[in-house]
Amino acid sequence: MQINPLQTNLMHLFNNEPIKAAVERFSDDSNSFSSILSESFNTASVTDTVDKSGTIELLMGESDDLAGLLIDAQKSELALQLALQIRNKIIDAYNEVMRMQV
């Protein structure tokens, strides 16, 4: 009985252009877990800073845009929730990989 290497049996799958494009897209460093997570936390940080500065301006009487302040607060909350959900998904994926039997 001859056993063929798995790599030669699966090579025909990568001859499809959409699959090649997806593999190249996910192998790029800009789409790594760390870059996605850091980008989401940076976005949350920026929106939080904008929200805090708007609140300070409103409290000091420099601004009277209450609607804009509420919108900034909602953006900040949504960005934080998105960052937390991305973190949770990454942790779940890591735990799933660690549970795999080799």
**What is the per-residue pLDDT across 12-71, written as a single tens digit (0 to 9) for each?**
444 555 555 555 555 555 567 778 778 878 888 888 898 899 989 888 988 888 898 899
pTM comes to 0.59
| DSSP state string for 54-99 | HHHHHHTTS---HHHHHHHHHHHHHHHHHHHHHHHHHHHHHHHHHH
Convert the pLDDT of each residue in 69-91 to its tens digit: 899 899 999 988 988 898 899 89
What is the structure's pLDDT at 15? 52
Q: What is the dihedral of CA 39, 43, 44, 46, to 10 degrees?
A: 130
